[in-house]
Amino acid sequence: AQTVTQSQPEMSVQEAETVTLSCTYDTSESNYYLFWYKQPPSRQMILVIRQEAYKQQNATENRFSVNFQKAAKSFSLKISDSQLGDTAMYFCAFMKWVNTGTASKLTFGTGTRLQVTL
């Protein structure tokens, strides 16, 4: 079974600053995917960024980037130039590769609540 750990329940960052959210995971799988999802207050979860484990290059998506350390099983999210709209709960999640004909699933961490302040 896979586990995902987010050790920072809450974080705060000032607008325009950079913040890094931590995530570690444990798995015996060799092929898998890692995700960061954002859940604004009273809204659905939306994908921030996705990383395929077989890719060495870290994924980036505008102001969002990851530091993927496969050997250390670490997958941190960096938010640059933080904006008030980044205030949300952030979930790290793991998905293992599965064969055709079956559905995979996301295993979530407990989340980090990020508050962006003026």
* CA-angle at 96, arms to 94 and 97, nearest 5°: 145
**How many Å apart are CA 37 and CA 10, to the nearest integer?**
15
Contact pattern for another protein over residues 16 through 55, marking x by CB under 8 A: -----------------x-x-x----xxxxxx--x-----
Pick 82 or 109: Cβ nearer another protein:
109
- Site for another protein contains 64 (CB under 8 A): no
| Contacting positions for another protein (CB under 8 A) | 33, 35, 37, 42-47, 50, 91, 95, 97-98, 100-111
